[in-house]
Structure 1
């Protein structure tokens, strides 16, 4: 075989293989919550995005420190050619990350507007308080329409006098006919409760065949 032809052929193959490793991913910007999966199948910090996806910070700014329950705004690109040892989400380059506040405020519901928010069933996987934030991990069926989730403070004439109120997860499935199992991680700001001197609250949710109700302490 002609030596010159062989060199050109090898060069073309190398260029082609190198091109296959390049990513054409467009940078994305999302918000989410940092979860510490350390000790679970070679995992470390995972960011559970509000859109339901999970990503793994493969590279990120040296000056930033991830902690459990942080709510963050990130700009990132996926790394589809990297197969991580952790099976939670995809590897990503974090181009920018900053800690933000809890996110959504509470919605006040009184007797005159108690039906203004839908109350479709959810599956409550996790609920925990971090600082002034109530973090929720919810699942529900859907996939064809946009779902919204609010956290409502229920005001009534029979509110307890011992600094305890009721908060209810209100899910609007918008009559979604699809049955894919979707998961969202959400965060709600409890600052208004603390400002009102509230020290405890009941968290409630429609689980379909039963009602979830659990008492939480505010510190």
Structure 2
């Protein structure tokens, strides 16, 4: 199992609230929008972008080189060049694009329990958009080694509710000793969790969080969300937290 950490360094300023709808005023080359999107591989290193509100963008012009990976989540800075064309909602110019840590949901079992870890973490928000569960979180980083962030289906405990998929947001700090918080952002692919003969499924995400600034006591926090297949989860005008990233981000 390949483990990654999305560590936000000092170059990460914080959380930026933005509008997820395409703004027609951004057609001027001096204007731009910033959104989370999913890469759709179109072949021969060509790609399109699927926004979380369902809109499809075609990169007709690019200011940066980017090697696409199918279903990779990205943060994209773009300028709208046209309205609907050739099946896309907009042709756009890509001003900049950054990969977001994108991982599958994995099974927690007796063989990987220690590696997965169960260290506390602080979640800012957890929500579903498109086929992904997105998490904005805070964690203590002491610079010892990269931490591990995972979303797991715990096979070490019996099922409690067959109508709900119970997941756990897990953190391994590798004994990092620090009271300084850093910001992280990660997306998890939910497509393998689809249930046959249904158009949606309930998901419950358990998080082990600190209760105070001393990081000594913990509590269990539960996020209950609905995963609706092939449907945009966000409407135009919805505000969502998006990380302010730079090329200095660490994985």
Identify the residue that residue 213 of structure 1 maps to in structure 2: 222
Q: Give CA deviations for 1:8-67 in whole Å, capped at 9, x if unaligned.
A: xxxxxxxxxxxxxxxxxxxxxxxxxx96524xxxxx85568xxxxxxxxxxxxxxx8895
What is the TM-score with the length of structure 1 in the denominator?
Answer: 0.55
Identify the residue that residue 105 of structure 1 maps to in structure 2: 104
| Secondary structure of the corresponding residue to residue 176 of structure 1 | coil
**What RMSD, in angstroms, separates the aligned Cα atoms of the two structures?**
4.0
What is the TM-score with the length of structure 2 in the denominator?
Answer: 0.48
Greater radius of gyration (CA): 1
1:177: Cα distance to partner? 2.0
What is the CA–CA distance in structure 2 between the aligned matches of 1:101 and 1:138, rounded to whole Å?
A: 14
Identify the residue that residue 142 of structure 1 maps to in structure 2: 141
What is the CA–CA distance in structure 1 between the aligned matches of 2:157 and 2:140, rounded to whole Å?
A: 35
| Number of aligned residues | 151
In structure 2, which of residues 8, 12, 18 is the aligned counterpart of residue 37 of structure 1?
18
What is the CA–CA distance in structure 2 between the aligned matches of 1:191 and 1:102, rounded to whole Å?
A: 17
> 1:47–1:172: structure 2 CA closer, same or farther, 3 Å change rule?
farther
Q: Which runs of 5 or more residues in structure 2 are unaligned?
A: 1-14, 20-31, 37-47, 54-71, 78-93, 211-217, 229-251
Q: Which runs of 5 or more residues in structure 1 are unaligned?
A: 1-33, 39-43, 49-63, 76-93
Instruction: Find out whether 1:176 has 2:176 as its counterpart.
Output: yes
> 1:171–1:97: structure 2 CA closer, same or farther, 3 Å change rule?
same
Identify the residue that residue 132 of structure 2 maps to in structure 1: 133
1:135: Cα distance to partner? 0.4
> 1:95–1:117: structure 2 CA closer, same or farther, 3 Å change rule?
same
Contact 1:120–1:172 under 8 Å retained in 2 = yes
Identify the residue that residue 71 of structure 1 maps to in structure 2: 73
RCO higher in structure (CA 8 A, sep ≥6): 2
Higher helix share: 1
1:105: Cα distance to partner? 0.3
1:162: Cα distance to partner? 3.6
Contact 1:74–1:97 under 8 Å retained in 2 = yes
What is the CA–CA distance in structure 2 between the aligned matches of 1:179 and 1:185, rounded to whole Å?
A: 19
1:71: Cα distance to partner? 2.7
Contact 1:167–1:201 under 8 Å retained in 2 = yes
> 1:66–1:158: structure 2 CA closer, same or farther, 3 Å change rule?
closer
Contact 1:36–1:68 under 8 Å retained in 2 = no
Identify the residue that residue 193 of structure 2 maps to in structure 1: 193
> 1:182–1:115: structure 2 CA closer, same or farther, 3 Å change rule?
same
Contact 2:141–2:173 under 8 Å retained in 1 = yes
1:119: Cα distance to partner? 0.9
What is the CA–CA distance in structure 2 between the aligned matches of 1:101 and 1:194, rounded to whole Å?
A: 23
